[in-house]
Amino acid sequence: MPKSTIQDWTESQVLLKFDEHRDVKYRIFRDGESTFQEICDIDDTPIHTLEIPDGMKLDKTSYEVLLRFVLLDIIAA
């Protein structure tokens, strides 16, 4: 099964903590049976690709929340 787009590239300014933010873009896609959230800097530098568990179908607002948690986790690492 080829890749299919669920949500095309969406730019977002993610509030991190203490008035810090990061400008990123993300997209949601399926590749075969798996769903992914791909996150990049605005300049297309890859940040992280997260596999979203089966059965976790989200709306746009939920993907934004997931985006913030992923970024906070990556920055803390």
pLDDT at 43 > cutoff 60: yes
pLDDT at residue number 24: 92
Nearest to 34 by CA among 67, 70, 6, 72: 6
Query: What is the structure's pLDDT at 53?
Result: 81
Tell me how far apart the alpha carbons of residues 73 and 77 are, in angstroms, rounded to a whole number.
Answer: 6
Mean pLDDT of 9-30: 87
Q: Average pLDDT, stretch 20-44?
A: 91
pLDDT digits (tens, 9 = 90+) for 66-75: 888 888 777 6
Instruction: With residue 68 as reference, give the H or E element that holds it.
Output: helix 60-76
* Number of domains composing the chain: 1
Domain that holds residue 31: 4-76
